[in-house]
Amino acid sequence: MTTDSLNQLIAELRIRPELFDDSAHKTDDMIDRLEEAQHRGYLNRAELIAVCKEKSSRRANEAKRNSEQDVSLVTETAFKIKSERIRISLLTSLHGVGVPTASAILAWTYPDRWGVIDRRAWSTLINFGVVKKCRNGVGLRAEEWEQYCVVLATIAAAFGIRPQHADKLLYGYDKARKQGSE
């Protein structure tokens, strides 16, 4: 990650505030739904399945293979641990949970701390040269998650917003860029 590329991206986002994509009201509904999980400190099986269904309906069936005990133990440990790499690796050990879904678990349970990594947001970072690996945003791993957390924290600090909103800025930028090229 280069600081110059990240600064260039932040400058572009500053002059394009219309890019903020707040159309994802389902995200707000999911955040409200997971508020109890935040207070409790872990997700239950039904909450995990709901997140998986929201993020990727085909993953929801896989998520049903997880036991209640596994879900509560893994998510509680992931929420407490300090290492982003271990945190995301723990969550992806659950059936039906890849890095994007694991990030949704974190972001929708603790929106003030994390954002959701996805292909659109990652594409914005690739286009600005902020990140180099995983050019198509498919197969994101713990390494990319760590980078993404640093980038989101930097953007969030630059705008005085939470990481969840920084993630929506990146998503909106890619969406606008692709609509403009159609």
Judge whether residue 27 has pLDDT over 70: yes
Q: Residue range 12-38: average pLDDT?
A: 78
Calpha distance 137→125 (Å, rounded): 10
pLDDT tens-digit readout, 49-107: 999 999 888 888 999 999 999 999 999 999 999 999 999 999 999 999 999 999 999 99
What does the domain layout of the chain look like in residue ranges? 3-21+114-180, 26-109
Structure pTM?
Answer: 0.88
Residues 115, 166 contacting (CB under 8 angstroms): yes
What is the predicted pLDDT for the residue at 135? 75
Q: Residue range 116-129: average pLDDT?
A: 91
